[in-house]
Structure 1
Amino acid sequence: MEDAHNDARFRDNPLVTGSPHIRFYAGAPLVVGDGLRIGTLCTIDTTPRRLEAWQRSTLVALGRLTVAALRHRRRNLEDALQARSWLERELEASNTELNGILDQMPIEVSHVDRNLSVRYMNRPLMRTQGEGAQRLIGAPLERLIGTPTAKAEAPHHVAVLAGEAQRYERKLYLPNGQQRHLTVHLVPDRRGGEVAGFYSFDVDETAQIKAERQIARAAQRFQRLYERSPALLCAVGADGRVMNASQRLLDWLGFSRDQMLGRRWQDFLRPSGGTGSSAVEDITGHTLERSPFLARSANGGLLNVEVSSAQEYDENDRPHVLLVLTDVTDRDRFARELAAQSERLEVTLTCIADAVITTDLRGCIVFANQAAETWLGLDSGQISGLRASQLLRLAPADEPTETWCLDTALKSCLRMGREHTESGLALMSPNCRDTRTVRLAIAPMRRPGGDPIGCVMVLSDMSEQHRLTRELAYRASHDSLTGLLNRGAFEQCLAAVLAERVVAAREHVMLYVDLDQFKVVNDLSGHSVGDRLLVEVAAAFRRWLRVGDIAARLGGDEFGVVLRNCGRDMAHALAESLCQQLNDLRFAQDGRRFRIGASIGLVLLEPGRWGGTAEVLKAADVSCFGAKEAGRNRVHIYRDEDVCLQQRCSDMDWVTRIEHAIEEDRLLLYYQEIRGLAEPGSQHAEILVRMLSETRSVLLPGAFMGAAERFRVATRIDRWVIHNVLRTMREHPQALARFSRIAINLSGQSLDDFEFHGFLREILAEHHLLCGRLCFEVTETSVVNNIQEASRLLADLRGLGCAVALDDFGSGASSFGYLRTLAVDYLKIDQQFVRGLATDAVALATVRCIQDVAGIVGMRTIAEGIETESTGEMVRSLGVHYAQGYHFHRPEPVTHLLERHAEAHPAEPDLIPQAALANADTRVIVGFG
C-alpha cells in the first residue's frame, strides 16, 4: 500500500489517522512448512513511497530466512519444554503425595523459612485458623501463633534454625475462653547443607488431657460417691474378701470401715430361704440379680436384703465384684400394706351399696363392682367391654321422657380434667326392670405422669331420698290433715295469679271459707272428732272444685279457694253451691249428728286492684266476717263501702300496729298492787301491759286487745310479757322483793295454742327458781271455752310450782260447776259485783256466796275494782283475802318502781344469785287491766 490516505480500506484506520500516522506499508507472509502462517515480515513508513523489484525480492528472501530461523528455534524450545514438563510433573506428583500425607495427618504442620515467614500450612492447620487462614501464607510466624507465644518460643526458633530439633508444650487460649494443649516438634529444613527453615509439627493433646482429667475426676467422684452413697455398696475381690464398702452400708450394718474391710463376705451375708449354696457361688460368678439374702448387723440381727452383682476391673485389670444391696424391709412392709389395702378396697367395693364403674378412654366398661352388677342385671364378664351408655340409660328424674347423654359427660370429664356431679337422674337398664333415682359422680383417672386413662363413675341410689324429698316438699306445701294446700303454698299460688297479665276474658276470684259450727264439734267431742270432720270437709271441697281451681286449709277451720277464669256471677253461684253442700253435710259421732255450715267471703281479683296477697287475704277475711255478721251460712261479696267491713279493716290495721310494736319493743310493763286484807303486810302485784304508739303516746289495752284477740295475735303479746317479766325478776330481785306474788294474765288464745304451751313450759324450766313467785291469771270465759286444754295447762303450771288465779269469776252462767275440776289457787271476784256491794243486795249475796265456796274448796279470793274506802271495808268484813283497785294503787310503769328502789338503795347490786330467790317468800301476779 503506497499511500493509506488514498486507500479506502485504511483511510479511517486509527493507525493512519492517529499515531504512528502510517502512510506506507509492504509485507511478506511468514509460512512454515505445514502451510501454517505464523506472521508477516513487513516494513512501514510515515511517508508515501513505492518498492522497487529488487526491494520486493529482498523482502521475500528475508521472510524465508526468518521462517528458517524460527523453525530452528522452535525445535530447541520444544526439546527444552519437554524436559521441563517432565520434571514439573514429577515434582508436582511428589508435592501432591506429600501434601496429601500431611493433610491426612491428625496433627497441624507448617513450614517456616529463615525469615520466620509462614510458607506452608496443611489442611488441619488451615481448618484451625478458619476463614482467614490463606492470608497467613507469607505472613510472619507471630501472626500464626500470636506475638506473646512467638516471643516465648523465640529460643526454640533460634535453636532449630541452628540445626537442632526442638520439642516443647504450647498452651493456646481461644477466643471462646477454652484452652488448647499442643506438643510442638520443630524439625530443621536442610537444603544443600544449610538450614533453609523448619517444619513445625503441632500435636493437639487437648482431648487426651481433658479425658485424662475427666477420668481422674470421675475416679475421685466415684470413690466419694462410693463411700458416701446412700446406696448399700460393697466391693469383693477375687479372693472373696471385702475391698471397699459405702459409708451407708457401714452405718446400716453398724460396722466401722476397719471392721469390715479385708474380711470374707460370708461374715456379713448369707443366702435367704431356699436360695441354697448356689447363691454363694453366684457372688464370685457375677450373676446375682435381686437375689434374696440375709445381712448380719453388728448387733447380730438379720436384715432382709436383695443383692445384685456386677463384675468390674481395677486399674491393673484385676477383677472384682461390686455388690449392690437393697433393703427390702420397708418394701415388704409396703407390699403387705398394699395387699391389705387392696383387699380392703375390694371388700369395700363389694360391700358398698353404691355402684362403682370404671371406663377406658372410649367409654367402655373396664370394671364394675357387685352393686353395679346387681343394678344392671349382668355379671362382670357380660359387662366388661360394653359401652357404658349402652347399659346406663339416664334421664332427669322429673322429666323421664328426656334423655341425658352419658357419653358427652364422660368426654367432657376427660377433656376438662375435672369431676362432674349430676343429681336427680333416673337410671334405667335394659336388663333390669327397676328404675332408680341416682346421683352420678364422674372423675377422671390418670397415670402418674398425668395422662388420662379413663373415668370412674359412682352411682348412689337416691331413690329413697328422692321420695322423701318429694314427700317433704309435699308436706311443706300441703296440710297434713286434709291433704289440701297449706297457707304458705296458697299464698304463693295467689301471688302467681295476681302477677298474671290478666285479659278481659280471664277473671279470677278468691273465696275465704270459715266453718260455722266447727267449734261446737270440737268442744263436745274432742279434737280427734273435729279432725275427722275436717277430712270430710276437704273431701267435699275436692268434689266441688273445678279443674284448675285451687283450695287450701289456711288454719283451724278456715279455708281458701281461688276460682280461675271465673266471673263474678259464676263465682257467686259456685260459692252458694259450696255453702249448700257444707250445710247439707251431716257428721255422726257417738249417736250424735252434727250439722255445720260455712260463711264465705268472696273477693274479685280485679287487675291492678290489689297490692299483694296480704291485702287480698285481709279483704277476704273481712268479707267472711261480713257473712258471719249477716247471719252465717251465706256468701258475702267484698265491697269497699261496707261499714262493718271497714271496722274489720280497722281492727286488722291494729294488728299491723301491734306487730310493729312488738318488733320495735314498744310494749310497756305496768303494775298494780294487790293488798292483803287478812294479812295487812302481804302484797301481790298484777302486771299490766300498755302500748307506746307511733307518736309516743301511751295506749290502754282497750284500744288494741280486742283486735289482738280477734286476729289471734294476743299470744304474741303473752310471750313478750312473760319474757320481760321473768327478765325483770331475774335482774332486779330486790326491787320486787316486797311482792309475795306477781301475776301474769294469759289470753284465751294462749290456752288453745299448743305451741305456746311448749314455749311456756320451756321458759319456766329455765327460770324454775322463780316459779314459786309466779301466778298466772286466766278468765273464766276462756277456761270454759277451752276446758280440756285449759285444765291440762293449769295443772302443768301448778306442777311447776306456779299459782293459778281465775279472773272475772262469777260472770259466767255456770261458774261454780267448774271449780271441782279446775286446779286454781285464787278466785278474782268480778268487779261488777264488788262495785255494787253497798246498793245491790244480789251483788252482796253473790260475793258472800263466792267467798263461802272458796273457803270450802280451799281457795283464796281477790276483790277487783275497789275505788272507795267503804267498799274496801265491806269486802274485808266479808272475809275476802285480797283487794285491788284505784283506792289502793293506780297502775304505774314498772320502771318507776325500779328507779325508786335504785335511788333508795344506790349501793345494792342489780343482780343476785338465783339460788337466793328460792328462799324468798315473795310472789308476783301479771295480767291485762
Structure 2
Amino acid sequence: MSTESDYFSNLHAFPEESALAPALAAADIQTWDWDPASSRMRWSARDGGRPGPATYQSFLGQLHPADRQRVVDAIEAALGGGQTLYVEYRSLPEAGTPRWFLLAGSPIRDRQGRVQRMVGICQDITDYHDAIARLRRRELRHSEAEALVHLGSWELDVRTGMAAWSDEEYRLLGYQPGAVRPSYQKFLDAVHPEDRATMVLEIERALQGDADLYRVEHRVALADGGERHVLQQGRVSFDAEGRPARLIGTTLDITHRVQAEKALQDSRAQWDHIMDFFEDAVYVVDLDDRVVRANRAFYELTGLTAETALGRSIMDIMHPHGEPVPCPVCQARQRRRDTLVTLEADHPDNRFGRPIEIMVRMIRGSDGEISAVLMALRDLTRTRATEDELRRLNAHIRLLMESAGEGIYGIDRQGRCTFINSAALRMLGLERDQVLGQPIQTLIRCETDGEAAAADDDALVFSVMASGRGGRSEAELLRRSDGECFPVEYSAYPTAENDQVTGAVVVFRDVTEARELNRRMDYLATHDALTGLVNRHAFEQRLRRALEASNRHGSEHVLCYLDLDQFKVVNDTCGHVAGDELLRQLSTLLHERIRHTDMLGRLGGDEFGVLLEDCQTGEALRIAQELARTVQEFRFMWENKTFSLGVSIGLAAIDRSTRDVGTALAQADAACYMAKEAGRNRIHLYQRDDVETAQRHGEMQWVSRLQEALAQDHFCLRYQIIEPTSGAAEGLHCEMLVALCNRGAEMIPPGAFLPAAERYNLMPAIDRWVVNAVLDWLQASPGVREQLALCSINLSGTSLSDEEFHGFLVRRIRASGVPAQMLCFEITETAAVTNLSAAIRLIRELKQLGCRFALDDFGSGMSSFGYLKELPVDYLKIDGAFVKDILNDPVDRAMVTAIRDIGHVMGIRTIAEFVESEAIRAVLQEIGVDYVQGYGVAWPQLLPPAGEPL
C-alpha cells in the first residue's frame, strides 16, 4: 500500500524547481496540482504569501461566495472533458477589498481516459481589474459629458473601413448604443435622404485634401418618422505618403437651435403677414427718423417699395417739399410722446387729400428706454361714410320701433327710461314726457295680490344687467296709467359699451287675449265639446291620481261606468242633432246628482264615467241608484216625440289591489256589460269571484292572447285586390289585412280581435307589426314592386293620436327604400274626426314623403262632408252600409252618388266596399265610382312568401 509521500514523490517537479520559477514569480503566478480522488492540492510557493490550501474543500472555502458556484461549474466542465479550465474569481479578503485571480488548468488522464489529476496555474489579476475599472469610469464620465451636451464622437479607419462611435453618437444617429456595428454605410443610412448627397460631397472633399476641417449641418431621419438636426464636424489624418488614413470628428445636436431659428423666422413672417392684413398703413422709424419696417398698406399709400423706403427719412417721404413749421405728427414723434392726430382732407399738412388719422406710439425695450417709434395712418373716408350710414340706420331703427306692435323701452343702469316707442306708451296709457328720464319700474310695475311690488332690483331687467345675459318672463304684470294691471310676455336684454353693461332694452307684449285663448284651448283639450264634461283623457288622468292616492294612503274610491240604454232609438228616429241635445240635457241632470268632490266625464258616444273619490261601495251603490233613477225619470222631447231611457251601470272598487287605470276601467266596463246582459237598466258591482264577470273576463283574455301573438309573431297578412271600374290597367291595387294565426293553424279574422285590441290600447303595437311586415315584404320583393301600383295599410284611431307612432312611421318608410308613392294609409272617418288635428298633421307629414291617404267608412257620420275639407286625402272608401243594399234602396244609391260627386269635385277618387256581386259592380260603374272592393271582386288571399308574385 503506497503512502502519501510515495504519491508526491511520483509527481513531476513543480515549476519553482525549474528554470521557469523566476518568471512565474515575477508574474505573480502560482502553480497547483490537485488529486480529485483524495482532494489533496499542492501549490507552489509565493513570496511573502501564505501557503496555498491543502485540499479542494479548503480552496473553495477561500472563494468569494458570489463566485464559488461559477468556479465549481468550470472545474466540473473541465473534468467532464468539455473544455479547458479558465475562470476568474475573487478570494475572501484577509483585509480590505477582495483580490481577483485567474485560475487555469487541464486534467491529466490515463490511457482509459480517466482523470488522474489536474494541474494548472493561478495568477493574481487584481491590478488588471482595477485598471479596467478605472478605464470604464473614465469612459462613463466621457459618455455622460457627451450626453449632457448632446455631442457624439466617432472615428473611421479609411484603409480598413473599421469605425467606432461613442454611445451619444449612436443615439444622435437614431440607434440604440451597440445595436448596430459602426460603419460608414450605417452613418449614411442615418442621414436624411435629401441631405445625403451634400454630406458625401463634403467628406469626399476632405479626403482629397481640399478642406482641413469640414462642417456640415444635416438632418437625421429617425425611426418614428421624425427628424433631428445635427452639426457634423470632421478632420482627416494622412499617412507619410499623403494618403488619407483616419477620419475623426464629432456630431452636435442643434435641433433646438434650428427650431428656435425657424420659430423666429415664422414669427417675423407672421408679423409681416399680420401687418399686411391691416388696411391701415403701419410703419416703424428709428430714433433718427429712418423707416426700418413697413406693411403693404404703407407702400400702397406712398407709392414706394421696400427698396426705396427702408432706411429713408420719414420726413422726406411725408414732407418731400419741406415745411415751415413741423406738423403735429412730427412734433409728437420728435418729443417722444404718444398721440393721436386727425387731419381733415383740407389740412395743409395732409398730402393725401382725404381725412386721415395718424397714431404715434413709442416702442420701449426691456429697460424702459425708447428704441423706436411705431406709427399708423388710417384713411377715415370709409369711417365717415360708415358714420353717415349709421345715422341713417338709427333713423331707420327709430322708424321700425315706432312701427312695431310690441312695446319697447330702454333704461340706464339706474333704471331711468332712455327711450320708449309709441306701442309701449299706448299699452301703458302714458305720454312720452311722463316716462323719459324717470325710473320706469316705479311707474308701470304692478302690485301682486294686493301686496306691494317687489323691490326694483328684484325685477328681471335689473337681474339681466347684473348677469350680462338676456332673460325672459311669461308671468309679468304691468300697470296702466288708470291703475289696471295686464299680463305681458316680457324679455330684457343688456346693452353694453366697451364690454361694460350700460343698461337694458325691454320688449313686452300684451298677452291678455292669448292667455284667454290658451285657457280656452286647455279647456277644450280636457272637456267634451258637446256636453262640457271632462273627456276620456282628463278622466283617466284624474283616475290615475286617485289610484296613486290609494297606493300611498290606502284610500278607497269607486269607479262607475254608465252606458245609456235605448239611446240609439233617438239617433235612428230623430237624427244625431236630437241625440246630441239629449246628451247635453242628460249630462246636466247627472252632474247635479253627484257630490261636488266627484267627477263626471263622457267616455264615448253614450258612455259616461263617474269617479267617486273617498267613497265606500255602499255609498257608491246609493249614488248609482240615484243616477239610474234620474235617467229613468228623464223624458226627452223632440218634435212632438217623447223618449224615455235607461242606463246600465257597472261599479268597480279602487284600492291598493287595483293594478292600474286600464284594470279599473276594464273591471267597471265588464260590470256594466253584465248589467246590460242581465236585462239593461241595472246596476252591477264588480266582484272578483263573480261567475258572470268571470265570463266577461273570458272576452278580455284577448289582451293576453294578442300580447302573446305580438311577442311570438303569430300574426299574418292577407291582401284583397281593389279594381278600377273602368277596367283600365293601372297596376295592382290591394289592401293589406291582418289576421291572427291560431295555435291550431286556424286563421282568425280581424273582426274577432280588433275590438278588444282597440278597447285595451293594443292597436298601436299591432299597427307597428303590420307596417314592419308590409315594408319588409316589399323590400324583399322587387318583382312585386314593379307589379304593384298601390298598397293600402290600415291605421287605427289610437295610432293616429300617438306622436311616437308618427315618428316611427316616417323613419321606417325612409329606411325601407320602398317608394313612398306606392303606400296608401287608410284611416276610418270616425278615427279621423275624433283625432282631427293629429290626423291632419300625420297626413301632411306623410304626403310630403309621397304617401297617399284614404278615408275609410266614409258617410257613416253626419258631419262627413264638413270635415272632408280639412282632410287632404286622396281616396274616399264609401261605407259598405250604403253599398250592399244599393240595388234595392234608392236612398243608399243617392248617398253613394253624392259621395262620388263631392269626391270628384274635390279631386278625390272613390272606392266602394262590400261589392258582393256583378250587379252591384255595374250600378257603381254607372254612377261613376272609381274603384270597387269586396267578395264579388276578389276574396282576401294569404300574402305569398317574399319574392313571389301576387
TM-score, normalisation: structure 1? 0.48
TM-score, normalisation: structure 2? 0.48
Larger radius of gyration: 1
Relative contact order higher in (CA < 8 Å, ≥ 6 apart): 1
